Amino acid sequence: MRRSCVAVAEVLQVVKENIRPGSSTMDLEHIAEEETKKRKARPAFKGYMGYPYCLCASVNSEVVHGMPSLKKVLRGGDIISIDFGVLLDGFYGDAAMTLPVGAVSDKAARLIDTTAASLEEAIKAAKEGGHLSDISYAVQSYVERRGFSVVREFVGHGIGRNLHEAPQVPNFGLPGRGIKLKAGMVLAIEPMINIGGSAVKVLDDGWTAVTVDGSLSAHFEHTVAITQSGPYVLSRP
């Protein structure tokens, strides 16, 4: 799984280097596709439940599952969430990040930083002897203390020989609930955080999830193994 996740991290790094005003999200899709091939991996999302692309590219008030489009051209001040996964030698890796396009507002920058930091808090809670919802609680308490809100309709997940395995990993909840965490489990932890309200809706394309109030949203994800010596972030470059 480390090898799958390193491929994911490397492809995301190349995509990141190509995020600038004037790039379309379809340009990023093509880059991801090419970089995936170079690594002899298969894109995990393309064909999954009929999803047609390698990347999810969600701009501004899009939360997750934004579909790459030639018509979606990035402008300075936008924020973009890129979610990407691969299948390599029988195992999946999955990761996501939100990036600023050029200079963004202080509020947008704070949203991005807070979401990234909430994932780090969640990772610290992914340890043997803890409970699943310790991860959920870590995200929610960190984010809400800072005045942002947690998306509830989408969750993290177990990952391994399948992209989505049990258990679901919500980003909200009280600590000490759910299964006990054990060494050997691997979880994709993925906080999705809004500046405004937590409500989201799916557009008529059947995929793109947006905030109901139009506020900005950010998303970070890592594939994390629970080990006897603590959390191992498999998708950290």
Binding site for Co ion (CB under 5 A): 94, 188
Min. distance of Cβ 52 from ligand MF3 in angstroms?
Answer: 9
- Please tell me the chain's helix, strand, coil percentages from 3-state DSSP, rounded to the nearest 5: 30, 30, 40
Examine residue 222 and tell whether it contacts ligand MF3 (CB under 6 A).
no
Min. distance of Cβ 114 from ligand MF3 in angstroms?
Answer: 20
Examine residue 188 and tell whether it contacts ligand MF3 (CB under 6 A).
yes
- Residue 16's identity, in one-letter code, is K
> E-strand spans in 37-90?
42-43, 55-59, 62-64, 79-88
Q: Are the CB atoms for 26 and 66 separated by under 8 Å?
A: no
Q: How far is the C-alpha of 67 from the C-alpha of 106, rounded, in Å?
A: 27
Q: Which stretch binds ligand MF3 (CB under 6 A): 41-49, 69-77, 179-187, 191-199?
A: 41-49
Q: How far is the C-alpha of 227 from the C-alpha of 186, rounded, in Å?
A: 9
Show contacts with ligand MF3 in window 142-161 (CB under 6 A): 157
Examine residue 51 and tell whether it contacts ligand MF3 (CB under 6 A).
yes
Instruction: Give the number of residues in contact with ligand MF3, rule: CB under 6 A.
Output: 13
Binding ligand MF3 by CB under 6 A: which of 43, 83, 133, 172? 83
Positive or negative, the Cα torsion across 61, 63, 68, 74?
positive
Give the footprint of ligand MF3 on this chain (CB under 6 A): 45, 48-49, 51, 56, 65, 83, 85, 94, 96, 157, 188, 221
